[in-house]
Amino acid sequence: MDKEHVKGAADKASGAIKEGVGKAVGDKSLEAKGKIDKAKGEAREALGDAKDAMRKSDDRPN
């Protein structure tokens, strides 16, 4: 597992909390920030997946 996966999961969790609190209190700005954090987390996880795939392809014998 790449460190990007961990950072991505943390961003997604933080974003979900912000989004939920924003919805609960009617704060559209906080809700939007939460959605942005969730998207950033998904992007980081995709980057981690790409790094993992590159490492696996480098490990294959020729």
pLDDT tens across 10-56, in order?
999 999 999 999 999 999 999 999 999 999 999 999 999 998 888 88
Residue 2, pLDDT above cutoff 80: no
pLDDT tens across 14-25, in order?
999 999 999 999
Domain map (residue ranges) of the chain: 3-59
Alpha carbon distance 26, 47 (integer Å): 33
When comparing pLDDT for 3 and 21, which is higher?
21
Alpha carbon distance 43, 50 (integer Å): 11
